[in-house]
Every structure is written in C-alpha cells, then in structure tokens.
C-alpha cells in the first residue's frame, strides 16, 4: 500500500523523539559562555545554498586564528527547521548555530532555544537598519540573533506588456486596482497578478506595509491584532479584486503559475528583492522584459514597504561555546569579505546596510540587466521597510491563513471573515498554551 | 542427577531465549513509542506570562483536554467524512479492477501475460509522491496535454482540482497506483487453485464465465478479504496524494485527511501533544474498523463452511 510508508515515518519520528529524550538524560549540563581556550568546533544548521564556501573563508581566515572551526549541516528551509531545532533542543542537543527566519524568532525564544548574545556581538547593531535589528531583540535589551538577509517588498511588472496595453506603473493601491481592471478590459484572458493563499509571508508583508502590528505586548500580556483595521483594509482590497474577477485567485509556485508568468498571462507580481532568482526559474523566456518599481502605497506621497522573507543567524542555548558562536555569527553578517561571498555564492540580499550597494550589488541581477539601477533602487526601498511585530505562534496564524484564505479565494467570498478566523485561531492557540492574552 | 536437571532446565528456558530478541524489539520499537505517544497525548505545555526567556514554558498534565479538543474538532470530523467519500470510490474501483485483471490474466486465452502483468503492476513501484505529482501536472489545465487536446476538440474542460471531481482525481491516483499490487495478490491465489477443480467444471460443461463466477471468485475470497482489509487501512491513512496536490489548488485544505490534520498539528503548529491524541484516536478508529471488518468476514466464511 502506498500509504503505509507514511505511518511508518510517523512511528519512526516518535521513536526518534523518544530516543532523543532518552539521550537527554546523559546530556551534559552546559557551561555558560566563559572565556574560551583551546580549539572550538561549532555546528551550523542552515539552508542557504553555498554557505559551506562562505564558512570555508572563516575556517581558513579569522576562525583559524581564533581556533574556531564551523561545520555546516545543510537543512530544509523555513518552518520544518524550526520544528527540528525545537525537537533537538528538547534533547539539549541543538546545534551551536542556526538559521532562523525573523518571524520564527519569538517561537524559538519562547521555547528557550536561543541564547542572548548581546555581550558577544560587539557593535554589530550599527551595521543594520533599526527596523531590522529590532526583530532580533524582540523589543528587549537582549539580542537573540544577527540579521543575515532581508526581503523588502517591491512591485515587478512586464515592461513590454505594460507598454503594449497602455498601462502605467501604479504608485498607489487604488491605481493598482484600476490597472488590473484596465488590463481585464483590454485583454480579458490576461491577469495583472494573482492572489495566492499558499504563502502567508506575502500577506503578512502587505499587512505590515499598511501599518498592521499583529503581535504586541503590554506588561505581561500579549495583544493579538491580526484583524485590526490596517489588515482588514488589505484583506478587503485583495478580496474585492478577486471577487470582481480583476485578478486571478490561483496559488503561486505551481507549474500553471510558472507558465502564466512565462507566457505573459500574468504580467505583474508583488514580490520581494529576491524575485529575480524566482523569475529566472519560473519565467526564463521573459528575461530582460521585467522591471522593478516600489510597492504601490495606501495613500499617495507615502513611502513604505513591507518585508517578505529574510533570516538571521542565532546561537542556541545548548551551545557550549556561545561566545565563539556569537563571534562567528557577527563576522558572517557584518564582515565585508563574508558579505561579498554570501552575495556571490549564496545569492542573498544582505541585511547589513553598507553591503547593499557594494561589490556584488554594483550591477543588476542578470535577469534584470535592462534595469541598471536595480540594486540602488532596492537599497533605497529597503530603507522604507515598516517595522514588523511577530509573536510566539506565527506558525499557527500562518497555517490558518493557508486554509481560510485558500477557501475564501476559491469561493470568492469575504476575505475579512477569513481574517477573523485567523485571529480567533491564533488567540485560541495562545490561550491554550497559557499565554496571557488581552482582549 | 545434577547434569540431567541442568539439561531439563536448559530446555525449559530455550523458548524464552528464542522469544527474547522479538520481545525486546517489539518493546523497544513498538510498545515503547506507542506508550510514549499515549503519554504525550495527556500532556501539554503551559506558558507563564509573556513566555519569553528561560523557564517560562513547562510541560504539565493536560488530563483529557487534548482528547476533548480532538473529538470536538470539526475539521477532524470533516476530514474523516472526506476520506470516507474518497474510500467509497477507491476501494470498490481498485479491487474490482484488480479482480478483473487477475481473472483475465488467469484465463487461457491471454497473450503476453508476463508483460501485461508487469505493466499493470508497474505503477505500484512508483512512489506515491511521484505519482501524485505526475497526475497533478496532468490535472492542471495550463500545463496538461489532455486539456490541450480537449481545447482543440472544443470539448468541455472540467476542473479536476475542485469540488466533486477532485475526489475522482485523487481516487484515480490511488487506483492507478494500488490496482497492480492487489491484482498480484489475487492472481497468486488464483494460481494456487488445483487444476482438478477446473477439469471437473469442464466435464460438467461450465463456460469460462461460469468458471470465473462460480469457482474462481469464491475460491479466492480469502485474498479478496485480505486486499479489502489492506485497502481500508491505506485509505484511512491517505496522506501523500492530498499533501502533494495541496500546493496546486485552493480546494484542498491542509486538514483534508485526518493524518494531514495530525501532521499539521505536530509539525506546523508544533503541538505534539494535540497531535498525539489525534493519532491515538485515529489508530483506535482504524483498529475498530479494520478488525471489525475482518471478524465479520471470518464469521461469514465459517457460516459458509458449515453449510
């Protein structure tokens, strides 16, 4: 039976978890970061491609001098890594260093998996925009990670097709809606873009741009405001466009979506700075036909964007060499050599502000060779990123988003009802866990 | 005297010594993990205050809370109903086809039997995820060659990834992948029927159809029961196909089948306690359903044997 493998997998996962707890008993009680002497070797869980090459630079350079050797263990990205870190942490066996998306930091900190490295990262703070840094400190004096890459959001469009259909690049969301309608009138079988319910990060970024603050704290209580007026505005806007049929409602990252981008059936994409990489694989035949512009604004004259994606390097509480690990994390994300290598070998967009316009970012990505100021523009847009507000159960909110908005997009029904579902599920989960949540 | 006693002692202990490896393995890799899952299903985390910083998160006893949540979770119930609908299509179609193919392969007139047998069996060798991806691509109107042909012929193009057709689309994957296996099981037991029986039937003037209906099918009933039993379990555990198709459509929630619900709670929401209680409930339901069926089938067989 094709499906019995699944149950075996579940059973073995439980078995592994069990083994891990059994091992926990023999785990050493970790010593807090004392001054290190003698060689130190660290393990680093990351999904960034080409990270081993960057780490080689450390192992042969500053790491050799300090006798700190880092070993990269390649991981799957995103949510599954968070689960894996937490499972390893239960057994007190988490690796020294981990890559974590910004929205996962509160979850990891709330599970006591991340160490406060504020004393060991030196003046790293000055290298980053304050809105980016604030995500790694969770609004406290502690520092739980060093920012690595960011994903400021932008508007991508087919320059040639916009000209063909006589469309102008929208600067406000109202114009965006008008553009979508105008395109439908001129070419009914084409769509400006789609509202996709399979990546919650996009919606979170759009809400962030509108000024939403989904999780905040006051005193000992969390406040969850996923259905606040700013987010409602965003949800109703996209829900309206889907309902009237001005844009498509099918998910992104499917073969059908790739084809739509590649053949010009969809002619724009609200995305982030990493879009060139995705477009290169999704729509290879339209290379050089796209252009990037700032995200449309809610009121003209404004200049704000959200962020979609981005990650940081964190040190775990299980590490026996926290100071050494923090030193590496700071080097990796602030040192010029490291940042250039990260840009070249891993293709990331660095969080460190001075790296955003230097070296690898002097010329545009190959896919956007027609837009020579791509990265100058990107750096300017990155500066306008609105602050984000993540909470300890982003995973629950995101999972609920997938289903609630998936159904709403399919049925072309009320998006704000889906938003309420998301809010209620998130609050219910927090209450179940025992968090104090203010109404 | 002493030597003989030692000898008898050794003989008495031998069965236990032989049982030991199996018992240890059973305890370590079966009983213990299940026991741990049951234990987890009665636990939960409790966070104090903001939940940030060390020591803010404790594992505590939950009593029956996880179970009440599981049993009142409408999504789990809906998932069970969806899987029931799916099973009502998959099991009869798959076993019907498997029986038909087995009977056809067993008949004297078949040509190229080894090749045909392999061709029908081959899809079973393809991993479920790969099969689901393969069919998923064929179901997507924009990339499917079928839709291209339908469009050229000006025929209606059904949306296979939504509503009722979605069940058919998903069942199709399971039937495609599972028929071969079940066919082999039934075919093997057909081969085991002694030739005298057929000879007797022929002397009595039975047509091939009568042989199939009156002799072959009743005689392979035990393997039909077995394949039915396997199929019920596989259906209740459906996971690969909907999980793989999920990113392609808005119509498949992350909780489409009960096992997907467990996966979501354990690995997306990070609540292994709730997930454990759901797993226990699903395991119990599977046990009751599958063994219930087995008992009913056995009773029938005994009755028939007594007649």
Count CB pairs under 8 A between chains A and B: 155
What sign for the dihedral angle of Cα A21, A26, A29, A30? negative
Q: Which pLDDT score, from 0 to 100, does residue A24 have?
A: 38
Q: Is residue A246 part of a domain?
A: yes
Residues on chain A touching B140 (C-beta within 8 angstroms): 254-256
**Which residues are CB-neighbours of A226 under 8 A, at least 6 positions away?**
A212, A214, A397, A419, A422, A423, A426
pLDDT band with cut points at 50, 70 and 90 for residue B268:
confident
Q: What is the largest CA-CA distance in chain B?
A: 96
A255 and A402 within one domain? yes
CB proximity B32 to A under 8 Å: yes
Any domain includes B2? no
B280 domain residue, yes or no: yes
Supply the pLDDT for residue A6: 40
List the single residue in A with minimal CA-CA distance to B181: A1
Residues A176, A280, single domain; the answer is yes
Spatial distance between the Cα atoms of A56 and B94, rounded to a whole number of angstroms: 54
A63 and A165 inside one domain: no
The enclosing domain of B207 has a CATH number of 1.10.3720.10
- The confidence band for B304, taking pLDDT boundaries of 50, 70 and 90, is confident
- Which pLDDT band, with edges at 50, 70 and 90, does B134 fall under? very high
A20 reaches B (C-beta below 8 A): no
pLDDT band at A101 (very low <50, low <70, confident <90, very high): very high
Are the beta carbons of A6 and B178 separated by less than 8 Å?
no
- How would residue A12 be classed by pLDDT, with cut points 50, 70 and 90? very low
Q: Which residue does chain A place closest to B238, by CA atoms?
A: A3
**Taking Cα atoms as reference points, which of B105, B53, B122 lies closest to residue B216?**
B105
A221: in domain: yes
> Above 70 in pLDDT, residue A223?
yes
The answer to whether position A15 is within a domain reads no
Question: What is the per-residue pLDDT for A315?
Answer: 97
- Do A21 and A13 contact (CB within 8 A), yes or no? no
Q: Mean pLDDT score of chain B, rounded to an integer?
A: 89
Cβ of A253 under 8 Å from any chain B Cβ?
yes
pLDDT digits (tens, 9 = 90+) for B222-241: 999 999 989 988 998 999 99
d(CA A241, CA A178): 10
Residue B206 is assigned to a structural domain of this protein: yes
Minimal Cβ distance to B237: which of A7, A111, A403: A7
The confidence score (pLDDT) of residue A439 equals 73
Contact A107/B at CB under 8 A: yes
Q: What is the pLDDT of residues B155-181, one digit of tens each?
A: 888 888 888 899 999 999 999 999 999
Do the Cβ atoms of B128 and B178 come closer than 8 Å? Answer: no
pLDDT at B88: 95
Query: A133's torsion region: left (phi>0), alpha (psi -120 to 50) or beta?
Result: alpha
Contacts of B55 in chain A (CB under 8 A): 112
For residue B10, name the pLDDT band (cuts at 50, 70, 90): low
Flag whether B231 is in a domain.
yes
Residue B51: which of A2, A83, A392 has the nearest Cβ? A392
Structure tokens at A243: 């309902």
Give Cα A8 to chain centroid, integer Å: 32
A425 or B1, greater pLDDT: A425
Count, in order, helices (H) and strands (E) of chain A.
17, 10
Phi, psi of B269 (to 5 degrees): -90, -10
Contacting residues of A for B61, CB less than 8 Å apart: none
Please state the rounded mean pLDDT for residues A152-180. Answer: 96
Interface touch B143/A256, C-beta < 8 Å: yes
Instruction: Note whether residue A173 is domain-resident.
Output: yes
- Chain B CB contacts of A32 under 8 Å are none
Residue B210 within a domain = yes
Residues in B touching A92 (Cβ below 8 Å): none
Owner of token pair 């042989």? B211
The answer to whether B279 contacts A10, with C-beta atoms less than 8 Å apart, is: yes
Average pLDDT of chain A, as a whole number: 89
pLDDT of residue A26: 40
Q: How far is A372 from chain B (nearest CA, A)?
A: 34
User: Looking at the DSSP assignment, which residues form a beta bridge with residue A266?
Assistant: A191
Residue A259 to residues A228, A251, B143, Cα–Cα distance (Å): 36, 13, 8
Tell me the shortest Cα–Cα distance from A435 to chain B, in angstroms.
6
Distance (Å) from the alpha carbon of B236 to chain A's nearest alpha carbon: 9
Say whether both A356 and A373 belong to one domain.
yes
Per-residue b or e along B213-231, where b marks 16 or more CB atoms closer than 10 Å to that residue's CB: eebbeeebeebbbbbbbbb
Q: Please give the ipTM for the structure prediction.
A: 0.82
Span A13-60, pLDDT tens digits: 333 333 333 333 343 334 444 455 679 999 999 999 899 999 999 999
pLDDT digits (tens, 9 = 90+) for B192-220: 999 899 999 989 998 888 988 999 999 99
Residues A289 and A433 grouped into a single domain: yes
Most confident of A223-232, B109-118, B286-295: A223-232
* A31 secondary structure, DSSP code: P
Q: Do B240 and A6 touch (CB under 8 A)?
A: yes
Bigger pLDDT: A219 vs A30: A219
Q: Which of A378, A398, A413 is the last residue of a domain?
A: A378
**Which of A87-101, A230-244, B54-68 is least confident?**
B54-68
pLDDT at B94 over 90: yes
Which residue range is the domain that position A349 belongs to?
A: 37-151+308-378
Q: Which of A356-365, A400-409, B13-22 has the highest mean pLDDT?
A: A400-409
Are A412 and A369 in a shared domain? no
What interhelical angle do B221-236 and B272-306 show, nearest 10? 170
Our CA-based measurement puts residue B157 at a distance from the nearest CA of chain A, in whole angstroms, of: 15
> Residue A22's pLDDT is what?
39
pLDDT at B305 over 70: yes
Nearest to B42 by CA among B60, B21, B19: B60
Give B107's pLDDT tier (boundaries 50, 70, 90).
confident
Do the domain assignments include residue B266?
Answer: yes
Per-residue pLDDT of B112-132, as tens digits, reads: 888 888 999 999 999 989 999
Which chain B residue's Cα is nearest to A412? Answer: B250
The set of residues, in sequence order, having a beta carbon less than 8 Å from that of B35 and lying 6+ positions away, is: none
| Cβ–Cβ gap B269/A399 under 8 Å | yes
What pLDDT is attached to residue A360? 82
Task: Give the percent of chain A with pLDDT over 90.
Answer: 74
Query: Residue B185 in contact with residue B220, Cβ under 8 Å?
Result: no
In a domain, A342, yes or no: yes
> A214, A239, A192: which is closest to A405 by C-alpha?
A239
Residue B237: list chain A partners with CB under 8 A.
1, 3-4, 6-7
Separation in Å, CA A266 to CA A148, A243, B157, B244, B254 = 32, 17, 21, 24, 26
If DSSP states are collapsed to H, E and C, what string results for A325-366? HHHHHHHHHHCHHHHHHHHHHHCCCECEHHHHCCHHHCCCCH
Whether residue A156 sits in one domain with residue A66: no
Examine the domain organization and report whether A69 and A121 are in the same domain: yes
Distance from CA of B41 to the nearest CA of A (A): 12
Q: Are A226 and A125 in a shared domain?
A: no
Q: Would you call A5 and B128 a contact, using CB atoms and an 8 Å cutoff?
A: yes
pLDDT tens column, A348-391: 999 999 899 887 888 899 999 999 999 999 999 999 999 888 99
The answer for B 10-29 residues in CB contact with A (under 8 A) is 29
Q: Residue B50 half-sphere exposure, CB side, CA atoms within 13 Å? A: 19
What is the tally of structural domains in chain B? 1
* A175 and A97 share one domain: no
Selecting from B49, B239, B240 the residue whose C-beta is nearest the C-beta of A436 gives B49
Give the DSSP H or E segment for B19.
helix B2-26
**Shared-domain flag, residues A131 and A250:** no
User: Looking at residue A10, what is its pLDDT?
Assistant: 39
| Cβ-defined contact of B143 to A14 (cutoff 8 Å) | no
Last residue of a domain, one of A331, A354, A378: A378
Whether the pLDDT of residue B5 is over 70: the answer is no
A196 pLDDT higher than 90: yes
- For B296, the domain range is 73-306
With an 8 Å Cβ cutoff, is A399 touching chain B? yes
Place of tokens 């060798």: B125
Considering only alpha carbons, which residue of chain B is nearest residue A112? B54
**Cα A271 vs. chain centroid, distance in angstroms?**
12
Q: Is B245 on the interface with A (CB under 8 A)?
A: no
Which of A129-138, A427-436, B298-307 shows the lowest per-residue confidence on average (mean pLDDT)?
Answer: B298-307
The answer to whether B267 contacts A80, with C-beta atoms less than 8 Å apart, is yes
Chain B touched by A433 (CB under 8 Å): yes
Stretch B94-118: mean pLDDT = 88
> Which residue among A110, A198, A254 places its CB closest to the CB of B51?
A110
The predicted structure's pLDDT at residue A85: 93
Q: What is the pLDDT of residue B302?
A: 79
- Say yes or no: A367 and A406 in one domain: no
Chain B residues in contact with A109 (beta carbon < 8 A): 52-53
Q: What is the pLDDT of residues B24-52, one digit of tens each?
A: 999 999 999 999 999 999 999 888 878 77
Sheet of strand A437-438, all strands in order from the earlier edge strand to the far edge: A215-218, A221-224, A437-438
Q: Is the pLDDT of residue A114 over 60?
A: yes
Give a yes or no: residue B15 inside a domain: no
Q: Which residues contact A319 (CB under 8 A, 6 or more apart)?
A: A30, A42, A94, A95, A96, A97, A115, A325
Least confident range from A33-42, A113-122, A162-171, A194-203: namely: A33-42
Residue B267 sits at the chain A interface (C-beta within 8 Å)? yes
The verdict on residue B275 lying in a domain is yes
Cβ distance of A399 and B254 shorter than 8 Å: yes
In chain A, residues with a C-beta closer than 8 Å to the C-beta of B128 are 2-3, 5
Q: Assign residue A258 the CATH number of its domain.
A: 3.40.190.10
Q: How many domains does chain A have?
A: 2
In this structure, what are the phi and psi dihedrals at residue B6, rounded to the nearest 5 degrees? -60, -35
**To the nearest whole angstrom, how far is the Cα of A364 from the nearest Cα of chain B?**
31
Contact between A86 and B270 using a beta-carbon 8 Å cutoff? yes
The answer to whether B55 faces chain A, any CB pair under 8 Å, is yes
Please indicate, yes or no, whether the overall pTM of this predicted structure exceeds 0.95. no
Closest partner CB to B142 (pick from A3, A217, A259): A259
């Amino acid at each position: 039976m094709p499906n019995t493998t699944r149950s075996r997998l579940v059973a073995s996962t439980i078995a592994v978890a069990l083994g891990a707890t059994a091992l926990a008993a023999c785990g050493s009680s970790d010593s807090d970061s004392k001054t290190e002497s003698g060689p130190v070797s660290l393990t680093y869980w990351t999904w960034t491609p080409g990270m081993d090459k960057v780490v080689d630079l450390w192992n042969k350079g500053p790491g050799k001098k300090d006798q700190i050797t880092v070993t990269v263990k390649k991981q799957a990205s995103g949510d599954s890594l968070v689960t894996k870190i937490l499972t390893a942490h239960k057994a007190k066996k988490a690796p020294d260093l981990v890559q974590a998306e910004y929205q996962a930091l509160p979850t990891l900190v709330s599970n006591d998996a991340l160490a406060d490295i504020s004393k060991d990262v030196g003046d790293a703070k000055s290298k980053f925009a304050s809105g980016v840094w604030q995500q790694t400190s969770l609004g406290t004096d502690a520092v739980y990670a060093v920012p690595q890459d960011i994903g400021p959001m932008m508007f991508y469009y087919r320059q040639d097709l916009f000209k063909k259909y006589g469309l102008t690049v929208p600067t406000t969301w109202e114009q965006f809606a008008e553009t979508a309608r105008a395109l439908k009138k001129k070419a009914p079988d084409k769509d400006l873009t789609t509202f996709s319910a399979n990546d919650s990060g996009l919606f979170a970024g759009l809400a962030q741009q509108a000024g939403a603050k989904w999780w905040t704290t006051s005193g000992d209580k969390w406040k969850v405001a996923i259905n606040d007026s700013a987010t409602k505005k965003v949800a109703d806007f996209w829900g309206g466009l889907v309902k009237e049929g001005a844009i498509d409602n099918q998910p992104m990252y499917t073969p059908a979506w790739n084809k739509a981008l590649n053949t010009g059936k969809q002619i724009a994409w609200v995305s982030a700075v990493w879009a060139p990489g995705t477009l290169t694989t999704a729509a290879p035949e339209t290379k050089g036909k796209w252009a990037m512009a700032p995200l449309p604004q809610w009121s003209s004259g404004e200049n704000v964007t959200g962020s979609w994606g981005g990650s940081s390097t964190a040190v775990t509480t299980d590490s026996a060499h926290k100071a050494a690990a923090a030193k590496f994390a700071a080097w990796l994300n602030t040192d010029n050599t490291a940042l250039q290598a990260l840009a070249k070998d891993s293709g990331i967009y660095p969080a460190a502000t001075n790296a955003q316009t230097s070296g690898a970012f002097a010329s545009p990505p190959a896919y956007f060779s027609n837009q020579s100021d791509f990265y100058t523009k990107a750096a300017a847009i990155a500066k306008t990123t609105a602050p984000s507000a993540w909470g300890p159960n982003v995973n629950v909110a995101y999972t609920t988003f997938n289903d609630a908005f998936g159904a709403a997009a399919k049925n072309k029904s009320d998006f704000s009802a889906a938003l309420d579902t998301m809010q209620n599920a998130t609050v219910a989960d927090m209450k179940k866990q025992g968090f104090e949540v203010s109404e | 005297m002493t030597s003989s006693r030692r000898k008898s002692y050794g003989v008495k202990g031998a069965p236990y010594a032989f049982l030991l490896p199996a018992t240890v393995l059973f305890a370590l890799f079966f009983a213990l993990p299940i026991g741990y899952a049951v234990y987890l299903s009665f636990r939960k985390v409790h966070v104090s205050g903001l939940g940030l910083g060390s020591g803010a998160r404790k594992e505590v006893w939950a009593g029956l809370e996880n179970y009440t949540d599981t049993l009142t979770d409408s999504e789990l119930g809906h998932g069970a109903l969806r899987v029931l609908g799916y099973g009502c299509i998959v099991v009869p179609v798959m076993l019907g086809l498997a029986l038909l193919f087995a009977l056809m392969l067993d008949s004297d007139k078949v040509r190229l039997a080894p090749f045909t047998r392999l061709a029908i069996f081959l899809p079973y060798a393809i991993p479920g995820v790969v099969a689901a991806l393969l069919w998923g691509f064929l179901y997507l109107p924009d990339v499917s060659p079928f839709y291209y042909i339908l469009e050229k012929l000006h025929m209606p193009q059904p949306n296979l990834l939504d509503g009722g057709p979605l069940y058919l689309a998903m069942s199709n994957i399971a039937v495609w992948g599972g028929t071969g296996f079940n066919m082999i099981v039934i075919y093997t037991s057909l081969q085991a029927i002694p030739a005298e029986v057929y000879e007797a039937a022929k002397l009595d003037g039975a047509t091939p159809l009568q042989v199939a209906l009156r002799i072959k099918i009743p005689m392979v009933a035990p393997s039909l029961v077995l394949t039915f039993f396997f199929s019920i379990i596989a259906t209740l555990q459906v996971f690969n196909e909907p999980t793989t198709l999920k990113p392609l459509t808005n119509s498949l929630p992350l909780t489409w089948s009960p096992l997907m619900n467990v996966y979501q709670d354990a690995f997306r929401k990070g609540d292994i306690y709730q997930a454990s209680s759901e797993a226990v409930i699903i395991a119990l339901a599977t046990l009751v359903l599958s063994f219930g069926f087995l008992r009913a089938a056995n009773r029938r067989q005994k009755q028939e044997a007594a007649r």
